[in-house]
Structures are given as C-alpha cells and as structure tokens.
Chain A
C-alpha cells in the first residue's frame, strides 16, 4: 500500500468520523447542560460498551461468514445510502431549498426538548438524559464503526482506518471539553458535502464490485481502471452535484458552500451558515 493511499485512507476515515463525533457530542452536551451530567456520561459510557460488543460481534461475523464480494456489497450499499443522503442535503442546502444545518440550532432544539421532558429517575439516573445520550452516541457510533470496517477492510489496512477515526474522536472530545458547547465553528455543511461525495464514491465503487457475489465464481466485479476508477467516480459525483445545485438554485440565492466566511453573529453564537 503506497504512502499516498495510507494518507488518503486516514484522511477519509478522519473526516467522515469527525462529523459523526460532532453530532454525538452535541447531543451529550445538550443533555448534560440541561438535565444531568452524571446521567449523560452514564448513557455515553453504556453506549460505548454496547458499541464495543456490537463491533466485536459484527467484525467476527463479517470476517468469518461473509465472502469478500458479499461484504463489499453489504457495506458498500450502506455507505452509498449514507453518502447519497448527505449529498442530497448538501445539494438542497446549497441551492437554497433547505435550511442550512446548524449545530447551534440542533443544540438549542435538543436543550428545549430536554427541558420540556418530564423528570423520571431510574437507577439513580435522570432517565431522559441517559436514554437520549445512549441513543445518540450508539447511533453515530455505529456509523463510525461501519466507516472503519468498510474503509479498513477494503484498503487492507484496518490500523490506519482505526487511527483516523480515533484521532477524530480525540480531537472532538478535546475541543468539546475545552469549549463545553457544541462545535458550532466547525464548517459542518462543507464537511458533510465532502463526506457525502467520499461515501457516495467509495460506496458505489464497492457495492458494484460486490455484485460479483451473484456470478458463478462469486468473485468481485472488476472496474475498467482498477482503483483509479475511484477518481473518475468521485469526479462524476462532484460534477453531478454541482449541476444539480446550479439547476435547482433559486434566483438570487448564493451558494453557501462556496460563500466566504463572515464574522460571528451579534448574538455571540457562531452560525455555521455564515462560516461555510
């Protein structure tokens, strides 16, 4: 494996995992600040334990029972769906047809919901904070696990994939601890657009390779230029998304993904829409 491929793998898993970690952190911080830090951390730790068990079981099952082509088809299809969901949102946001996602807004919604929820104590924990933190961390964590497994197995370099995701997790936790608030300064929409392109590219590449499981030999389908085809597929998704943004853009609306950064809003909250 060339050093360029190793760097590419590390960057891909880092960026994709970073976005998921930011979303999980936003949920945990909202629960901790409005309900109970103890319960939010208990939910987070329980989710991490469940995630470790899920990863071990899924990893064993995938490595033991599934032929390589079937694995490529299964995880490639999942990645493709994730990637196209993100690309869809990026296209709609950039064309002005959907409000830009804002972690500060998400944080406000989560905290408002937390304040409205009735207090119920179980096992000495604020049950609402525990369950919401658990679900948030587990759901985003499973996505990270799939990203690591897919990228790592297909590039035959699991340690680099794990290291990329681990670095993203540590960075998000560090930034979150330092700021004690959601990472509103992260250019989330731009990141999600880039990650959507990456996941759609790798997802379509591997899912189509995996269709070879339906052939008599059960061997992966070959792309015309091998791994170099990834660049062509990436260029294709990028071109298609730009064409769609241009075609769907409402008159006079700027492209927020390409817009320059703006100063912080008067309220003191950094607003992602102006920074992306």
Chain B
C-alpha cells in the first residue's frame, strides 16, 4: 500500500506540482476549448486565439487567488 501511495504521490507531484490552482486553471480552459471543438468550432480562425485567451484568463484568476489568500 505504501508503494501505491508513493507511486500516486509521485505522479501528483509531477503533474500538479506546487499549486493545484494552475493545473485546475489549465484543465478548465482546455475543457471549455474541448467542448467548443466537439461542437464544431475548431474550424474557425478565432478558435485557437480564443482558447489561448481563456488559458491566460484562467492563469490570472489562479494567480490572483493565490495573492489574495
């Protein structure tokens, strides 16, 4: 059991790192992009700029949440 916990802990540390809010911000922004892509928006020229803007906005929110604690 200790090895399983250690294994999971390793991958959590590797993927999520010091601040879970950053990983959550990326997941939310790309999740919205995934929904839009599945709905047929990926062909639009505005799709990629809009998703990167969503990632940037989510990053700012995560950072400000960190600062205001």
Contacts and interface: CB of A to CB of B under 8 A. Distances in A.
Contact of A142 (B14, B45, B62): B14
B34 A208 contact: no
A139 B37 contact: no
State the main secondary structure of chain A at its contact with B: helix
Contact of A211 (B13, B26, B33, B67): B33
B8 interface: no
A85 B63 CA distance: 10
Given A211-B51, A215-B37, A224 B45 contact: yes
Interface centre among A143, A204, A236, A248 (most CB of B within 10 A): A204
A84 B25 contact: yes
A81 B17 contact: yes
A39 interface: no
A184 interface: no
B37 A214 contact: yes
A236 B52 contact: yes
B63 A223 contact: no
Interface in B39-53: 40, 42-43, 45, 47-49, 51-52
Interface residues of B, number: 34
A211 B30 contact: yes
Contacts of A142: 14
Interface string A26-41: 0000000000000000
A224 B48 CA distance: 8
A105 to B, nearest CB: 16
B4 interface: no
A272 interface: no
B15 A81 contact: yes
Contacts of A91: 63
Nearest to A95: B67
A212 B56 contact: no
A89 B40 CA distance: 36
Contacts of A212: 37, 42
B27 to A, nearest CB: 8
Contact of B59 (A84, A209, A211, A215): A84
Nearest to B33: A211
B22 A81 contact: yes
Nearest to B63: A88
A88 B21 CA distance: 11
Contacts of A233: 52
Given A80-B26, A211-B30, A92 B66 contact: yes
Given A78-B15, A88-B62, A143-B14, 9 more contacts: A81-B22, A135-B10, A139-B14, A214-B37, A214-B38, A215-B38, A224-B45, A233-B52, A236-B56
Q: 6 tightest CB-CB pairs across the interface, nearest first?
A: A211-B37, A214-B37, A85-B17, A214-B38, A223-B48, A84-B22
Interface of B: 10, 13-19, 22-23, 25-26, 30, 33-34, 37-38, 40, 42-43, 45, 47-49, 51-52, 55-56, 59-60, 62-63, 66-67
Interface of A: 73, 77-78, 80-82, 84-85, 87-89, 91-92, 97, 135, 139, 142-143, 204, 207-209, 211-212, 214-215, 221-224, 229, 233, 236-237, 240, 244, 248
30 contacts: A77-B26, A80-B30, A81-B15, A81-B17, A81-B22, A84-B25, A84-B59, A85-B22, A88-B63, A91-B63, A92-B67, A135-B10, A139-B13, A142-B14, A208-B30, A208-B48, A208-B51, A208-B52, A209-B48, A211-B33, A211-B42, A212-B42, A214-B34, A215-B37, A215-B43, A221-B42, A221-B48, A222-B48, A223-B48, A233-B52
